Amino acid sequence: MANKKKSAELVRKGDAFMESNEPDEALKSYDKALRIDPNAFDALHGKAMVLHNLGRYNDAIAFYDKALDIEPRNQYAWRNKGLVFSNLKKYKEAIKLYDRSIAIDPEYAPVLDDKTAALYALKRYDDALECSDKAIRIDPLRSSSWIRKGDTLFQKKDYHAALKCYETASDINQSDVWAWSSKGSELLSLDPDQALVYFDRAIEKHPGWAWAWEGRALALGKLKRYEEAIAGYDKAINLDPNYAEAWLHKGDLLFESAKYDAAIEQYRQLTEIDADYLWIWSSKGNALIELAEYQKAIEFYDEAIKQDRENFEAWGNRGFCYDKLENVDEARNSYDEAITLKPDYSWALVNQGNLFFGAEQYDEAIRFYDKALKSSPEEVWASYNKALALAKLGKEKASQDQYRKALEHAEAITTKNSDNSDAWAVKGESLLKLGELDAAEVSFKEAVRINPRNVNALIALCEIYSDYKFDFDEGLKLAQQANGVDDSLSTKSNLAENLLKTHKYDQARTQAFQALAYPRVRQPYACLLRFFVAASFLLDRSNIKNERFDEFLTYYRSINFTFGSADWTSNGLICAIQNTEVSPHTKFLLLTMIDVMQGRIDMQTLSFFRKPQTTANPHAITESSL
């Protein structure tokens, strides 16, 4: 009897230490009690709760089980064990445990709140609503039950009813900061100004509650009061350094403000706190790709790979970024890693094939396209690019047959899924190669309607308007739209050419010079861009040094490359040059330069255009400074 009394006294001490947030002392007291009486339910249950609060979930479950072996009809132990499983996000198991508690005491409202929360997490909103209503019927003055019901109604888009629930909760308990903060959270999207008011009320009642400060920061961010928002996140983090959502949302705000280096630091802190957020690196890398911030995107993918070297998608996206930056070696290495990790990764296989295509290794490109098609019949670009490679190998019949296959492939996909923008683009490209211009235009327009950021379709439409319809103004609009989506070498070169066609020579030069300043510029683009620079000076009748013309010729002599008609459709530019007011001599010079680049005549022909300086001819090449 004395031992039981001593054990009970130690349990009471343990309970007091737990209340005063002294877990180590509480555990010592419970352990002493258990040494005296190993079957003391209160000691086992108390120790389980302390371990639970310390995040030692497996140990907590073990002690709840021991306690329940002694008192299997204790509703509190069943509920608390359920809370552990909720903390582990094992909501289905948690619900089963809550039901054991409810079966023992159907009037126990707190466990109904907990079950509501688990059902809410599983998005079983109708069941959650029914459960919160039961809790409210048992205890109409329980503010937490009204808040749970409000959260559920909000998810069901019954906003008016949700706010009424929050109002009821705050009327019941004016000091209930959870009610004020929940109301603020649900108003964030609807009315951030009013949400801010509710978060401020919560902070007034409880200045040390990190959740309210984080909610306040979210509201300030939506109101574009960014510096105050950052300060709010910092306050939340200072109050709770392990508050993952505060780190996440602060990082997101910095990211949206294009402060990528600062955002990276926040995300690093976040992933150290909670490994469940490792997805953030690839997610933000993908967002940077959409913004054409390829160099910064690589930093995010590098972080993703550092955390998980087997993240094949991060390797593939890293390769895509290096590809956009014209760093072929790094792109190829990254695609190789992705394909090694996932040999049937069709997207990476197509892109690797494209790199071999760019390196004029057409047989190797076809090998990768075939692998991609075998891995994924949906990979429609592989079908079309294979036709291009066959054409490069001089296999015209095989190429035409493959264009038809690509067309059939694209049509099969659009029939199955009419919202597949890439399939419409490939359909357009195939029709264009098969000489069906009007049908191609319809397909490209559909691709752009579905996805206004489909760069391939935008450039193809630009080509149709500019090089076939000679509608240069519409061609320029499309070129600008494509460059706005993807500021890459190809889109910038296309924009420079279309600026030339619309007589915007200064702007054409600017775009060409910017493109030439890119870290790596492949020969085809370097050649074209130098031509655009030389042509812009000649067409706007600027005084131009012989050196500018010499620079183009010297560069062209240094390379072993000519444009075939499939690489560069010059129809529109030739038409635009013919319609300028420059001298016939200048027009003939530019048209001859185009013929030389496309391999139709020998470049020695250009030497006939070199002649002594004369002031009598204002269009001749002069020695004046550029």
What confidence score (pLDDT) does residue 580 get?
Answer: 82
Residue 577: inside a domain? yes
Residues of the domain holding 569: 484-609
Has residue 154 been placed in a domain? no
**492 part of a folded domain:** yes
Q: Are 151 and 186 in contact (CB under 8 A)?
A: yes
Q: How many domains does the chain have?
A: 1
In the chain, what's the furthest Cα-to-Cα distance?
124
Measured distance CA(491)–CA(325) in Å, rounded: 13
What pLDDT score does 617 carry?
Answer: 36
Q: What is the rounded distance in angstroms from the CA atom of residue 556 to the CA atom of residue 530?
A: 9
| pLDDT at 94 (0 to 100) | 94
Residue 531, in any domain of the structure: yes
Q: pTM for this one?
A: 0.59
Q: What is the pLDDT of residue 549?
A: 60
Helix (H) or strand (E) holding 222: helix 210-222
List C-alpha distances in Å: 197 to 150, 183, 215, 241, 271. Answer: 18, 10, 11, 25, 32
Residue type, 121: A
Low-confidence ranges of the chain (pLDDT < 50): 545, 564-566, 611-626
Tens of pLDDT, residue by residue over 497-551, are 999 899 998 899 899 888 888 877 777 777 788 888 888 887 876 555 455 566 6
User: Does 226 reside within a domain?
Assistant: no
546 within domain boundaries: yes
Distance of CA 39 to the CA centre of its chain: 55
Per-residue model confidence (pLDDT) at position 613: 44
Please indicate, yes or no, if residue 527 is contained in any of the structural domains.
Answer: yes
> Which tokens go with 276?
């469940």
- What pLDDT does 261 receive? 81
In a domain, 33, yes or no: no
Q: What is the DSSP letter of 276?
A: G
Record the tokens describing residue 607, joined without a space.
């030497």
pLDDT for the residue 6: 82
Residue with tokens 């329980």: 142
Return d(Cα 353, Cα 337) in angstroms, integer: 15
DSSP 615: S
